[in-house]
């Protein structure tokens, strides 16, 4: 999962959708986590899911400044969280 985050390149909105889907799927399979970890992971994943949904709804393919901040924050926090588990 960390490799998916590290290797992500924006490219298209579809690439972002694939990443969001992968994070959802793999989040439930991470070993060594607790309830607090699950809640924080879900918050980060949901923020990315919400950005994707808003962008798709607006028909935009690249994030604006606000969306970019949300995505960057989620990426940084997910990497930190995964570094503690993997």
Torsion of CA 25, 12, 77, 85, to 10 degrees: 40
**Each residue's pLDDT tens digit, 5-34:** 666 656 666 778 888 888 888 776 765 568
What predicted TM-score, i.e. pTM, was given to this entire model? 0.75
Q: Are 81 and 44 in contact (CB under 8 A)?
A: yes
**Tokens describing residue 51:** 């950005």
Question: Domain coordinates of the chain in residue numbers?
Answer: 2-85
What average pLDDT does this structure show over 65-86?
Answer: 82
- At which residue do the structure tokens 């992500």 appear? 8
Q: For 31-59, what is the mean pLDDT?
A: 87
Most confident of 34-43, 51-60, 71-80: 51-60
What's the confidence (pLDDT) of residue 86?
Answer: 47
pLDDT in tens, 56-65: 999 988 888 9
Token pair 């490219």: residue: 11
DSSP-derived secondary structure letter, 1:
-
């Amino acid at each position: 999962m960390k490799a998916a985050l590290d290797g992500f390149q924006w490219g298209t909105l579809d690439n972002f959708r694939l990443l969001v889907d992968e994070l959802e799927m793999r989040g439930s399979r991470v070993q060594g986590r607790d309830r607090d970890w699950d809640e924080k992971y879900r918050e980060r994943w949901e923020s990315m899911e919400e950005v994707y949904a808003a962008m798709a709804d607006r028909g935009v393919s690249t994030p604006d400044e606000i969306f970019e901040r949300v995505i960057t924050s989620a990426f940084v926090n997910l990497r930190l969280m995964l570094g503690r588990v993997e």
